Structure formats: structure tokens, C-alpha cells
Structure 1
Amino acid sequence: MERRPAGANLAGLRDHNAALVLGLLRASAEGGSRVQLAAQTGLTPQAVSKIVGRLLADGLVVEAGRGESTGGKPRTLLALRPEAGCAVGIELDRRRSTILVLDLAGTTLRRRSVDIGLASGEPERVVGALAKRVSQAVRAAPDGAKVLGVGVGCRGPLDYETGTLHRPAGLPAWDGFPLRGLLEESLDVPNVLLDKDTNVAALAAPAAVSGSTAYLHLADGLGAGLLLNGAVHRGARTNAGEFGHQVLQPDGPQCTCGARGCLEALCMAALADDDPQTAARWLGVGAANLVRLLDIDRILLGGHQIFASPDVYPRAVADQIAEHLPEPEWQSVRVSLTPAGASAVAVGAAQLVIDSALGGI
């Protein structure tokens, strides 16, 4: 599939500039004045006034009082109106899915878990059943809230740009499946985005991000989302983060990818023996490799296996990192559970849509 540069027209430019303004207001708890927005965006005061006028008319922005006087008349502050819009986020796992609705401020309005997953049947039937539940969530959005779109976090490998899955381990029927395209056909929403579950979960906790962060997700598989200097690292084929398929024990247990001794297979074998401590140690060994490779300074942990033993994993991973680094005091690494909690993937998927609509990425 040939990828062509996107063209731009006047309407698109207006939308881009409005997204810049909305993104700045979303990032500021205090709001901002028209003068501040003009300075931050580089737009003229007249252009900002026109944009703000449209946003006020659309109900996306409200006037939120007066700022402090700097010698003249206090300026009117503008703020994002959270209830004016929402997005649906989905965690599509192997056997279950979580569907939730977030408002523009990131507050969860509704949450539902359903027994629909990648291993539930033929891909077309799974997408049809999932689309039905998502449509119900869209119809249940608060009155007056504009639904910005639907975001999906799914296990990889996948192509972020085309929305196509590529040989997900143990799921051959999904190889080459155009998941995003079929969801777009099935849902009456303005935008559908698909990314790896680990990437969106990493985005779900932006307040915790400083320097370079790795989000490690242990659920029905194992993967990583990488935030390098605050930006998602997707790689040349948008498929970075296949962390679970580094081979640590060449004669080890068979992995669903076909290799032997992958980190994922070692963790899953330990969990099958009801031994989360051993799984956590293996996870820590892999995390130490990642730290030494990319000089990561923060590890966030998530996924239902992690939250089944929340006291075990952070301590064991931190211990293994310290043991395998030559100078642990100099190369300090913070390890913690993701502050976004057990719904991090679905939350991040919805935030991906909101960020895209409001100019956050």
C-alpha cells in the first residue's frame, strides 16, 4: 500500500489551528487568555479571536473568569469544557475487552467489560460483536457531548499507519487483518484509531512521564510501550516494543511465536505453575536488558497478571534491575505500577483519540 503525503486545504488549516488552541487549554488547569493563546501558538490575535468565537459557539470552550491584572484591564480566561465531548477507549485482549467512555478532561464516564476477544472466534465475527457493544457505548454518551471517535489498544505486531495486524502470536487468523478499516465501516463515528495496547497504556499516565519510560504489560502476553523523551517510539514499521519475544533461554519453553525461551514464554510458564514470584524475576531480567539498551529511567507496570499480585512485581523487577546494572546508584531507575490502574489500555486508547482531536500529539 503506497503512502502519500497528506494535502492541506483552508478548512484543514482552520481545524489544525483550532486543535492547537484546544490542546493548550486542555493542558492548562488555569485556562488561558486570548493574548496568551496567540503568543503560544504564533497565531495573530485576530485569528485566535475567530477560533475562540467558533469554539465558544460550539460549546467546546467557556469563559472562566478573569486573570490577574498586569496593569491594564484583566483578561478574560478561557477553559476547555470537559462535558462537551467524549471518546470511547477499548482494550481488545485475547479473551476479553474493556470498553469505556472518557470526557475531554480524561474522566471515566462509563466502563464495561465483555467476553469478546481476539481468540473468541473468526475475526469478522469478533469485530461485529465488538462493534455492537461499542455502538451501545456511543449511544449512551452524555447528552450534548460530541463523540470524537473510538480508540483501540490491541496486542501486536501491528501497523499503526494502516491499522493492520501482522502475525499476532498464537492468532494466525488475524494475520494481515485490517482491524481498523473494518471497525471504521462498522461504526458511525468520526475517527477510529488503532495502536498497540502497550503504546496507549504508556500514554495513559502522562503526568508520570519524565525522561524515558518503558511501560511493561503482562496479561495474556507480554509487551512494552516506549516513551523516549516523552514521545511514543513506534519504530520504522510502527512495531517497536515486542519486548516479550527477546530470547533469554534458547532451550526454554516453546513460545506462541514459534521460538523457544522467549521472555513471554518464561513468564507464562511460571504463571501456569502459579508462581508469580518467578514470573516477576524473569520480567525484571528483561527490564534490566531494556534499561541497559536504552538507558530507561522509569518503568511502569500494568496488565491483569501484574495487578493480580501488585506487591510482588514492582519489588522483584526493581531488585533484578539493581542486580544486573553495573552501577545501580548512578543509573537509578524508578519502578512502579502504572498510575492509570488496571484500565490503563482502555483509558490510553480513549486519550489517543482525544489527543488527536485536540492537538495533543
Structure 2
Amino acid sequence: MIVALLLLAYAALLAVVGPYVVRRARWVERAPRLGVAAWQALSAAFVISLVLGGLALSVPDLRLGTDLATLLQACLTALRAQYATPGGAAIGASGAALALLVLVRCGWRVTVTLLRATADRRRHRETLRLLGSRHHESGAVVIEHAVPAAYCLPGMRRQIVLTRGAIEALSEEQLRSVLAHERAHLRGRHDLVAALAIGLRTAFPGLALFRAVSEETARLLELVADDAAASSTHRLVAAEAMLNVAGQPSPAGAFAAGGSGTGNRVRRLIAGVHPFGRARTALVSAATAALLALPIGIFTGPAATLLDTACCASDPAAPSHAEICAAMSMTRDCLPR
């Protein structure tokens, strides 16, 4: 019961403190890729804590120091004792239901998000087949439209889409920067990361934690692509290119070089990004790993102690230290001199 309460309390702490941490973190501007990993780990830690907390409620605690056969027999006895009373059965069944519900709900919502995005991209590709033409230099699909826009369609048949207005408005360097931005989305499979964040947000619609993680993940994925664009040419060229294609939202299931938040992204590129030091990277990575390790450690700690106690129990038939010393003393006295 104590393990379950600790895990559920940890999940509640993440739900309360998590949104504040996500909204107030400023270091993510300098390391957006690490920020995405940290916020995904924060979401996963909450889900893992709920699932393991439910499992801990459904299984009784044991403290044994015997062999495996006795251990299994004690497990069965403890399970019977817990589920024999109405209160114990209700607690155990509630824990198992909580774990199952969280797993099914999260898996279902993430799957639905992925399927919807796939369907949106399929319909958009069918439209491009009728309206678009292959650009001979970059391999992107070109739409005859005067408004400058650029976006990509991830997936198995990934594509980069440019309007005729974007090709005419962008210089050669700017076009190369825009293409690097979109290729970074495709290469990093940002669609899967975004789908996971959106799926968990819909799985827990009233929770501020997943709303904050979803919004910040979408923003940080764009910063990751912006950094790739800046490294391919120059940060000022990338900023100019982004301004030229800004203001056009991406179609459903796509990633656009412009769109919401373009102003802040342009200012970030103009100001430049200071490198994130190795020490800070190691510190944030360790904190991210601790988010996931803590609930797992809380759950498996008693089990590891139990296993160690069961496997390393002392043999009552074995001689004690004092008996060994006495035997050695007698042996020395009996040796011929």
C-alpha cells in the first residue's frame, strides 16, 4: 500500500508542478532537442507512475527470507488474504482497473491521432497529384499559387511542398534554408513525437500538464528545424526566409516553415543561440533520466529487496563464525610440532 501511495503521490506532484516547469523553463531555447526529450519524459513518468501505482494496489506487499517454493506459496496466501475481504478486493480491483484503463486510454488516443494524421496526409497527397508538379532542382512538389508557403508531409511517402510564390520570393540561399528546415522535420520523424504529445493530451483532456507539454513540444520541434536551417546557410538567411513564408498555417498533418510563433522564432535566430555547455547538458539529461527512474525504482525497490533476501538467506545448518574459529584453534593445537 505504501508503494502505491508513493507512486500516486508522485504522479499528482508531476501533474501539479509539471505545467509550471514546462512554461517557465528558459534553457529549452538553447537546447530544443533536449527540451523535447525532457517534456516527453515528464509525460511518460506521469503515465508510468499511474500504471505502476495501480499495479502496486492490486498486489500485496511481502517480506520473506525463504526459498522460491515458500515464496510462491506466500504470494498465493497473501493474494487470497487480500482478496478475501470486500475492502481488500475493492482496492485490488481498483488498482488493476486503473492500470488497465490508463494503458488502454493512452494507447487508443495515440493510435487515433496517428491514424487521423495519416488519413489527412493521404488526402492531401491525392490533391497534390492533381495540382502539383515536381520541382526539378529540389525534388519538392510545386503548387501554382502566388502566396509564398512551404511545408512537408511526413510518413512513408514523405514530400516537401512549395508554392510558386515561395520559389519566386526566396533567393537561392533562402530556399536552401527552407528546404533544410523541412528536411529536419522529416529526418527527425517529428510527426511521431507530435502525435504522442497530442495523443496524451486528448487522453487526459482536463490535465494542464499534457496541454503544456503538447504546446511546448510543437514549438520546440520548430526550433529544432530552425537550428537545422541556420546551420545549412546562416541564421540571418534563415530568419529572412522564414519571414518570406510566414503567416501561412500548415495543412492538417503537415509541418510548415512559417505559421504561428514565427515572430519569436525570427527574433531568436537574429539574436543567435548560445551553445548549451556539456555540464548543463549532462545535468539536464540526468534529471530527465531521474524522472523515469524514480517511479520504476519505487515500484521495483521492494521487489529487488525481496529477491535479494530470498536468494541470499543464511543457511541455518551452516557453521557460525565462532564455530569456525574454534575449529581452527583446535586444529592448530593438534598439529605435530
TM-score (norm 2): 0.26
Larger radius of gyration: 2
Q: Which has the higher strand share?
A: 1
| Higher RCO (CA < 8 A, seq sep 6+) | 2
TM-score (norm 1): 0.25
